[in-house]
A = this chain, B = another copy of it.
Amino acid sequence: MLVLVTYDVNTESSNGKKRLRHVAKKCVDYGQRVQNSVFECSVMPDQYVKLKNDLKNIIDLERDSLRFYLLGKNWENRVETLGKDESYNPDKDVFIL
């Protein structure tokens, strides 16, 4: 299923900047960055639970905001873009590395 992760991390302190880097790094493990603070993560339900738990342990619950939008399996019809779009479709696009 596709889960959209969006975040606002309060970077007023150096700790905040560190949290921001950690959140981004963790999200990279699960999906693709489509905007500065927006990740599309293609995950199984157990991976989603782990992702949430990992992120919960990184953020400051009083200062930072994390939102998860569950787009399900048939997510392709739920996403539209305008302007710059360098994202790929994890279910379809093929990469030769």
Contact = CB atoms under 8 A, between A and B. Distances in A.
B83 A65 contact: yes
* Number of copies of this kind of chain in the complex: 2
A58 to B, nearest CB: 10
Q: How large is the interface on A (under 10, 10 to 19, 20 to 34, 35 or more residues)?
A: 35 or more
Contact of A55 (B36, B52, B79, B82): B82
Contacts of A67: 34-35, 38, 79-82, 85
Contacts of A56: 82
Interface of A: 4, 6-8, 34-38, 52, 55-56, 59-72, 77-85
4 A-B pairs closest in CB distance:
A66-B82, A8-B35, A68-B80, A65-B84
